[in-house]
Amino acid sequence: MGRTGQDGLTASAIAHSNIALAKYWGKRDSRLNIPAVGSISITLDALSTETAVSFSPDLQADELVLNGGSAPAQKASRVLDLIRERAGIDLAARVVSNNNFPTGAGLASSASGLAALAVAAAAAAGLELSSRELSIAARRGSASAARSIFGGFAELHSGSAADGSDSFAEQLMPAEDWPLSVVVAITQTEPKSVSSTEGMLSTSGSSPFYDAWVESAPAALDELRAAVLARDLEKTGALTERSCLAMHSLMFTTSPPLIYWNPATVAVIRRVTELRRDGIEGYFTIDAGPQVKIICEPDRAEQISASVAELPGVLQTITTRLGPAARLVQSP
Ligand code: PMV
């Protein structure tokens, strides 16, 4: 599968971004990139990445071209190493990755990009891996990418095995079973100053609340999973906001503090709360950055989008439905 001739093994894949309703923050193993707590996410249809992988004897080292520019290949290499090991090949790869969403919109692309990479690299190396194995490979690059292997609702387990073999994502529910919408409010286009990896290390080493976060995570996850499976928006929304605010409380109490928000982030939070009071139901969540994602029923998305778009500092809004699983786009 994916062979393009004697000088290379090539394949391409598409994966969609995701946002966590129950967040993870912190690693139980940094080298193997294993999260300290489980998480539950939704995959987003409108935000996707297409990634092509070519293994070639002509390359000295892995190369990454991201949205047309050369970029550090470190995370990609962690995924490629695992694929090379499984396939028993010793070739470097060229990875060409393009996001379908505006470059520089401040939207993270590591989840979609590294999930697409895992799918494409496995095919290019001639491997037929299960979704679980692909999820483990994607997790090596970026833990949130493990969830983007799946469409709809996905859960990533932290597991307990030292080698990370039980830290994979699986689908909780397909998108069709609860077709929600998400409004993304973009409030800043510059990349974040502290990466998630760096931020998590700093938090686990300095926030007095970190141990409590890890201890309370399994119960919070059980509660959210039950609310999702019951398709209870009020409960799912309340628990989503609580997980987001708990994670940002960890960030605020890190030394030096991690404050990813800006004034528009807070304005959107307030507006979502006011809209809810007026009967327009939406719930916010925020990752390691200033953008706000609002989860709602599809028939509320337009009203919510129009309302947050008028706030000062909101530069753009994108509305999306839940997305499908990662998949190969080419198998020559
Ligand atoms: O796995 P990373 O490096 O993409 O970090 C993800 C961290 C959060 O987005 C803040 C939380 C999450 O569970 O996605």
Q: 293 pairs with which residues across the strands?
A: 184, 285
Residue 225 lies in a domain: yes
> Torsion angle, CA of 261/205/246/244, rounded to 10 degrees?
50
* Judgement on whether residues 197 and 125 belong to the same structural domain of the protein: no
Mean pLDDT of the chain: 95
The arithmetic mean of pLDDT across residues 306-321, rounded, is 97
* Judgement on whether residues 24 and 167 belong to the same structural domain of the protein: yes
What pLDDT does residue 190 have? Answer: 83
pLDDT in tens, 250-274: 999 999 999 999 999 999 999 999 9
Residue by residue, DSSP assigns 198-214 as HHHHHHHHH-TTHHHHH
CA of 25 to the centre of ligand 1 (A): 7
* Judgement on whether residues 121 and 205 belong to the same structural domain of the protein: no
> Which tokens is 88 given?
């028993």
Contact 52, 95 (CB under 8 A): yes
Query: What three-state secondary structure class fits 143?
Result: helix
User: Which residue's entry shows tokens 């093994």?
Assistant: 9
Take atom 9 of ligand 1 and give the residue whose Cα is closest.
Answer: 287
* Judgement on whether residues 281 and 196 belong to the same structural domain of the protein: yes
Residue 326 lies in a domain: no
- Asked if pLDDT for residue 8 goes beyond 60, the answer is no
* Judgement on whether residues 28 and 141 belong to the same structural domain of the protein: yes
CA of 8 to the centre of ligand 1 (A): 33
What pLDDT does residue 330 have? Answer: 63
Percent of the chain at pLDDT exceeding 90? 92
- In terms of Cα–Cα distance, which of 156, 141, 214 is closest to 39? 156
Instruction: Identify the domain boundary among 175, 199, 217.
Output: 175
Q: Which residue has the higher pLDDT, 190 or 152?
A: 152
CA distance 102 to 87: 35
* Pocket mutation for ligand 1, best pick of 43, 74, 287 (most atoms within 8 Å of C-beta): 287
pLDDT in tens, 97-117: 999 987 666 687 899 999 999
Residue 331 lies in a domain: no
* Judgement on whether residues 220 and 259 belong to the same structural domain of the protein: yes
**Strands ordered across the beta sheet of 282-285:** 282-285, 292-296, 181-186, 316-321
Take atom 5 of ligand 1 and give the residue whose Cα is closest.
Answer: 196
* Judgement on whether residues 28 and 99 belong to the same structural domain of the protein: yes
* Judgement on whether residues 45 and 139 belong to the same structural domain of the protein: yes
Give yes or no for residue 23 CB within 6 A of ligand 1.
yes
Q: Of ligand 1's atoms, which has the minimum distance to the CA of residue 156?
A: 13
Give yes or no for residue 293 CB within 6 A of ligand 1.
no
Give the DSSP H or E segment for 70.
strand 69-71
Rg from Cα positions in the chain: 19
Percent of the chain at pLDDT exceeding 70? 95
* Judgement on whether residues 231 and 301 belong to the same structural domain of the protein: yes
Number of domain units in the chain: 2
- Asked if pLDDT for residue 295 goes beyond 50, the answer is yes
* Judgement on whether residues 259 and 303 belong to the same structural domain of the protein: yes
What pLDDT does residue 6 have? Answer: 39
CATH, residue 300: 3.30.70.890
User: Which residue's entry shows tokens 């300290």?
Assistant: 36
pTM for the complete prediction? 0.95
pLDDT in tens, 124-173: 999 999 999 999 999 999 999 999 999 999 999 999 999 999 999 999 99
Domain span holding position 124:
9-175
Residue 328 lies in a domain: no
Task: Give residue 127's region: left, alpha or beta (phi > 0; psi -120 to 50).
Answer: beta
Residue 198's contacts (CB-CB under 8 Å, 6 or more residues apart) are none
* Judgement on whether residues 257 and 114 belong to the same structural domain of the protein: no
